[in-house]
Structure formats: structure tokens, C-alpha cells
């Protein structure tokens, strides 16, 4: 039986291990390169030609994350299965919750490192304009909550298969569905339309990028994160039994 609380020391060890994997793997550097090449391009275009001294570039980065998240999360558990270390982990003193949460925090820590340079973009915007700080905080909150929800979905996909490519395809399919499902809700009527729009990531992220913090949106993203981790643990429990 897996019980809380989680051991901070064990979590820290897993996070360090996962961070080491990202910075020792070509995939980690490819993700960083694509993330900043494409994101930086659109940021510079908006600043130079659109003269937009705002945080709109974070939405562009979130859109790019839709495509790079599967590559960031595909190996989280699939690699353990392929390398044969999954059984060692599942029979170790670590609880499944500690394994899942530790790996999840590892990808979140890598994302935080990825996002640190956006503070430079913010500094440029503050030097060239006069943005209000509360909307900027709302932009960042929405950006990080949506990204963390993406990673929870990606981790769940990785627990479903030992094939990293299959895990990446599952993650991308699920994330793309969450991205576009609100469009189907626009054409549906009644409760069905409302439900489809509620499931949409965009439906909940838009207000943050308008500078509005709505607790119902925060609850949505936290729910996606919890469900992703919860079902990841349940999948691993099923494999253990």
C-alpha cells in the first residue's frame, strides 16, 4: 500500500537523477534548441515588427511546448521498462507515489531551467515598455500551470508502454485533443458543448494570458495534474501485480 507523506530526500534523489538524464541526453539539448530557436524567433518578430511590449511570447512558448512535451516525457517510465530497471524500482523501498512524483518533479525542474531565460525577455520588455506586473504574474502562472498539466499527461502516456515512440505519440495525441476539443464545443449545443469547452486547455489558459487569474481555471489545471499522477500510479500498480 502506498502511503503519504512523500519522503523529501527520496524525491530529491529522483529529481537529480532525472535532471542528469536530460542534460546527459541529446534529446534534452534538441528540446532546448528547438524551444528557444522557434520561441525566440516569434518573440523577436513581435518585438521588432509588431512593437508589442507584452508577454504574448509565453503563449507562443506554450504552443511550442505542445509539440516538445512528448519528447520530454516519453522516456520517463518507458526507458525504465526498456532498460529492465523498472522491476528494480518497483521492488525498491520507494513507494510508487514517490517514483511517479519524483519523475514528474524532474521534468518540471528541467522545464524551469528551460524557462529561466524568458526572464531576459521580460527584462527587455520592461526596458522597452511599462507592463503591469499583476498581469505579467498571471501570464506566468497560466504558462506554468498549463505546462505542468502537459507533463502529467505525458508521464501517464509513458507508463502505458515500454516503447518511447509509442509513448510520445500517445502523449501528443492526448495533448492535441485537449488543445482543440474546445473548438468542437463551439459547434455543439447544451451540456455537451459546455463539457467539451471545459475540457479544453485553451478555454482555461486564455484568461491567464489576458492577465486574469480565475480560481476555476487553477482548479482545472491542478485536477489534470493530480489525475495524471494518480492514474500513472494506478497503471504501475497494475503492472506490479
What's the pLDDT tens digit per position in 64-89? Answer: 899 999 999 998 888 777 766 666 66
Where do the structural domains in the chain lie, given as residue ranges?
8-240
Between 231 and 21, residue with greater pLDDT: 231
182-209 mean pLDDT: 87
Interatomic CA distance for residues 134 and 240, integer angstroms: 46
Q: What is the pLDDT of residue 2?
A: 47
Torsion angle of the four alpha carbons 226, 231, 234, 239, in this order, in degrees rounded to the nearest 10:
-140
Judged on CB neighbours under 10 Å (0-12, 13-18, 19+), 187 is: exposed
Calpha distance 53→51 (Å, rounded): 6
pLDDT at 108 over 80: yes
- Per-residue pLDDT for 173 more than 90? yes
The three three-digit cell numbers of residue 108, written as one number: 518540471
Residue 179 has pLDDT above 60, yes or no: yes
How confident is the model at residue 88, as a pLDDT? Answer: 60
Per-residue pLDDT at 5: 67
CB contact at 8 A, 79 and 164: yes
Query: Which pLDDT does position 71 carry in this prediction?
Result: 92
Is the predicted pLDDT of residue 111 greater than 90, yes or no?
yes
What is the reported pLDDT for 1? 43
Q: Supply the pTM of this predicted model.
A: 0.88
Amino acid at each position: 500500500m502506498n502511503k503519504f507523506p512523500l519522503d523529501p530526500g527520496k524525491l530529491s534523489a529522483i529529481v537529480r537523477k532525472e535532471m542528469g538524464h536530460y542534460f546527459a541526453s541529446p534529446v534534452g539539448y534538441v528540446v532546448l534548441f528547438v524551444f528557444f530557436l522557434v520561441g525566440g524567433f516569434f518573440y523577436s518578430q513581435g518585438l521588432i515588427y509588431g512593437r508589442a511590449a507584452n508577454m504574448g511570447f509565453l503563449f507562443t512558448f506554450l504552443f511550442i511546448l505542445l509539440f516538445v512535451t512528448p519528447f520530454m516525457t516519453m522516456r520517463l517510465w518507458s526507458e525504465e521498462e526498456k532498460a529492465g530497471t523498472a522491476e528494480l524500482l518497483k521492488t525498491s523501498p520507494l513507494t510508487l507515489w514517490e517514483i511517479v512524483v519524483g519523475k514528474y518533479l524532474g521534468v518540471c525542474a528541467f522545464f524551469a531551467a528551460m524557462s529561466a531565460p524568458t526572464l531576459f525577455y521580460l527584462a527587455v520588455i520592461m526596458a522597452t515598455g511599462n507592463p503591469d506586473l499583476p498581469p505579467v504574474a498571471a501570464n506566468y502562472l497560466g504558462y506554468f500551470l498549463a505546462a505542468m498539466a502537459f507533463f502529467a499527461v505525458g508521464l501517464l502516456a509513458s507508463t502505458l508502454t515500454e516503447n518511447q515512440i509509442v509513448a510520445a505519440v500517445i502523449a501528443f495525441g492526448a495533448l492535441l485533443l485537449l488543445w482543440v476539443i474546445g473548438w468542437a464545443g463551439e459547434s455543439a449545443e447544451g451540456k455537451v458543448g459546455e463539457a467539451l469547452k471545459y475540457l479544453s486547455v485553451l478555454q482555461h489558459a486564455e484568461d491567464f494570458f489576458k492577465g486574469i487569474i480565475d480560481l476555476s481555471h487553477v482548479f482545472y489545471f491542478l485536477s489534470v495534474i493530480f489525475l495524471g499522477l494518480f492514474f500513472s500510479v494506478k497503471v504501475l500498480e497494475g503492472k506490479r501485480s
